[in-house]
Copies of this chain bind each other. A is one copy, B any other.
Amino acid sequence: MTFKEETIKSEMVYKGRVLNLRRDEVMTVSGRPSVREIVEHGGGVALVAVTDEGKIIMERQFRKPLERDVLEIPAGKLEPGEDPFEAAGRELAEETGYRAANIEYLTRYYPSVGYCQEALYMYLCTGLTKGETNPDEDEAIDIYEYSFEELCGMIDRGELEDGKSIAALFAASLRIAKKEK
């Protein structure tokens, strides 16, 4: 498809700490103008970290948008200019205390292509050794370990609803299956 929505006018509605909000007036395929509200976000990393025993490191923390705890894989925002691969090792260590001998790129995850340009870079982390955690001051994170089969059951029963976790676990399982072929 070669169709592209041209921007007629672009307005920055809000410039914030974690995200910006932009309001673009565009020309749609129907030839009529419309509005696209776009969340700008610096992106991040999300990590499927697998112990030598085959357990996957999970976190539980309070998430203000949902006003409750959420079970997730370790993840974090990219610092400005930071390489995603560097961020992967940094976030894993800060949040879980684990260092990974092997960090392998899986794929990129766009959580909400309709209104957000955020990209999350997903990595498979293996060869883990335990050290000290160093979470951000604003974070209170509990760490858990689950088998892949346990997590699959939790996804099917609606107990694991975090998008990046579901997507990254799938991408990791596809990669591992390809290697075992």
Contacts and interface: CB of A to CB of B under 8 A. Distances in A.
B167 A28 contact: no
DSSP majority for the A interface?
A: mixed
A113 interface: yes
Contacts of A72: 113
Given A107-B158, A175-B156, A115 B1 contact: no
B17 A14 contact: no
Contacts of A118: 112
Interface in A1-42: 1, 3-5, 13-14, 16-19, 21, 23-24, 26, 28-30, 32, 34-39, 41
A156 B174 contact: yes
B108 A138 contact: no
Interface of A: 1, 3-5, 13-14, 16-19, 21, 23-24, 26, 28-30, 32, 34-39, 41, 60-67, 69-70, 72, 106-120, 137-140, 142, 152, 155-156, 158, 161-164, 166-167, 169-171, 174-175, 178
5 contacts: A26-B64, A66-B110, A111-B112, A112-B116, A112-B164
Given A3-B140, A107-B155, 20 more contacts: A3-B62, A5-B62, A5-B64, A13-B14, A16-B23, A16-B35, A18-B114, A19-B39, A26-B64, A29-B62, A34-B138, A39-B116, A65-B116, A66-B117, A107-B158, A110-B162, A111-B111, A112-B112, A152-B174, A163-B164
